[in-house]
Amino acid sequence: MVKARRGMGSREWGVGSGHSIRGPHSALPIPHSRFAPGDAVRVSDRAVVGHCRTPWYLRGKAGVIASVHGTFRDPETLAYHKPGLPAQPLYKVRFRQRELWDRYAGPSGDELEVDIYEHWLENRE
């Protein structure tokens, strides 16, 4: 899920899984999430073979954790009929549009929020 955000608005973010059907995509209990809202992170710059939900334009980019959605089975292995374990915490990560695009013409406060699984995130600083 990708969501563009105009300017600097409210900092309140609800946590919702958005999945009502219990299936491979329902949230599992969160055993441990490495990051918390406000943490500075960087998206891993690795290349992959096969299904992957981390868009190319975010690889290596710096962002901030906005919220934790829950823990979900890993789509990278679910895609090959495996159980998708270990499950991965899924975060809403906020990026500055100016950090993502060289010639971004919009206001400097514009942000983009993208859902990213924990195994794609690294500590920044």
Partner 1 sequence: MSEPKRRTLKRKGAAGRAVHDVGGLAMGPIDREEHDLALWEKRTDAMLRLLVTPGKRAFTVDGMRRVIEDYGQQAYDRTTYYEKWIRAVRNLVVEQELLTREEVEARMAEVRARYKKTGRKVSKENVPW
- The contact set with partner 1 (CB under 8 A) reads 21-25, 47, 50-52, 55-57, 75-76, 78-81, 84, 100-101
**What is the closest distance, in whole angstroms, from the C-beta atom of residue 10 to partner 1 in the complex?**
26
Give min distance, CB of 3 to partner 1, in A: 14
Six token digits for residue 121 = 């995130």
Q: Of 37 and 75, which CB lies nearer to partner 1 in the complex structure?
A: 75
Output 11 or 22, the one with its CB closest to partner 1.
22
Closest distance to partner 1 from the beta carbon of 116 (Å):
14
Name the residue nearer to partner 1 (CB basis): 28 or 37.
28
Nearer to partner 1, 2 or 9 (CB): 2
Q: Residue 62 CB, nearest distance to partner 1 (Å)?
A: 16
- Please, what's the b/e burial string for 6-24 (b: 16 or more CB within 10 A of its CB; e: otherwise)? eeeeeeeeeeeeeeeeeee
